[in-house]
Amino acid sequence: MKHLRFLDHFVHQIHANLFEIQQSGQMLAPARVYASEEMFNSLLEETEPLKQVINVAHLPGIQKYSLAMPDIHWGYGFPIGGVAATDWSTGVISPGGVGYDINCGVRLASTGLNQTDIQNKLAKLVQELFKAIPTGIGSSHAIRKLNKTELKSALTQGVSWFINQGFGKPEDIGFTEDKGHLSWADPSVISDRALERGQDQMGTLGSGNHFLEIDVVDTIYDPIAAEAMGMYEKQIMVLIHTGSRGFGYQVCEDSLKIMSKAAQKYKLPLPDRQLASAPIQSPEGQNYLAAMAAAANFAWSNRQVIMHLASRVMKRVLSLSDSDLDFNLIYDVSHNIAKKEKHLINGKPTDLCVHRKGATRAFPPASSDIPDKYQSIGQPVLIPGDMGRYSFVCTGTQKAMDETFGSACHGAGRILSRNQAKRAAHNRDLFKEMSQKGVVVQARGKGTMAEEMPEAYKDVANVVNIMHHSGICNKVVRLKPLGVIKG
């Protein structure tokens, strides 16, 4: 096992894909990073993401260790790919451990179609999806504008409110993380500005790395788990990646102003002001939890509405009935959230606040928090890649519960900033390049395509393999993109 140094810290390589920055100075816990040797050496040179993992280890009440997944890259406060759990009674909650796009996440739906069923109409299908599902910064009007009373009901009830309005099936609720509803949401703590931003953004993708993909199952690694999920080779799938839009951004923005003052009020010894926090049990902590929960309910609802809009477009373009399309939700997972969960600390079940910032819940078989259908295989873990390569469906494991508070990676992870990607894409026709790869893309413009070019990301297969070989999640299937809409 290798011993390295990072700044003033000793680093111990625990196994091939796990490194521990040992506790020193004012750190309250060690910092662990899941990465290959090549990835970790790159992080040693880049420095900022590792500094953030160390900074998180200073949070009051942190338990066991600060964690980073192999898709780690720089973020606000926490690194993206960061996980930390604080004691529910004595610890703090930090908006930087959730992020601006609260409950950004991924939803996967299956169809009864094969690749040959859509190939001749793929371009038309992508075009019509792009028309029906607004994309880009400030996108709105996918459905009618909600009045504030309706929006507050939706923020309180989550996915079930929209299903009652005809957007999807009651069964969808059981296949959404936390059934698409955090019960402690309280719209009364939300600013008028946030409510205004949320009224007409339901059912919209937004910008950046958010997308809707038409994918095909091209590789099966675990036939038993794939069968349990209802997945088979050459099957057409729909993958949706988006979050709480401008509503969640405003909730975070508002909360950070309050938390910055709270960190001073409670004299919290934080190494970075971006880690602005408050004790969980303080009024500021409880209000943030209530506001964050409302934004989480918004995001689950947003993906629910987009899924319904997609099914409607597919039926129309492909001239299919409901039974022909056979459109079913496999699962919906959150990537940016903080929740009360019970985990073993020194062998004792303990209530914790688990922050996942660019990380996916990965609960094991027999967990009471996952659907009956998946009790024998574990929670589906959805890990999207870039638009030119592939995405993965995995399952959670007991080892994840033991080592990572039931968490896994959430995607490929950027290796080029958006500006670097734009420079690298100069004078390239990325639409044509994607077409040559067999992927039909509709996007707002060349800027989005440049920022989201495949080379801007790590190869998600390498990221997933680190999790798989570490026993944190098990590979089930690989999905290949055929059609993509982006903001």
Catalytic residues, by residue number, are 410
CA dihedral 5, 11, 14, 15 (to 10 degrees): -40
Q: Are 400 and 474 in contact (CB under 8 A)?
A: no
Selection from 35, 216, 205, 64 nearest residue 135 by Cα: 205
Cβ partners under 8 Å of residue 405, min gap 6? 64, 67, 83, 85, 341, 343, 352, 354
Give the C-alpha separation, 250 to 190, whole Å: 9
Q: Are 82 and 67 in contact (CB under 8 A)?
A: yes
Selection from 247, 291, 227, 299 nearest residue 476 by Cα: 227
User: What DSSP line would sit under 270-281, residue for residue?
Assistant: -S-GGG--EETT
Phi, psi of 425 (to 5 degrees): -90, 0
Give the C-alpha separation, 292 to 260, whole Å: 16
Give the C-alpha separation, 117 to 319, whole Å: 11
Q: Establish how many alpha carbons lie within 13 A of residue 88's alpha carbon, considering only the half-sphere containing its beta carbon.
A: 14
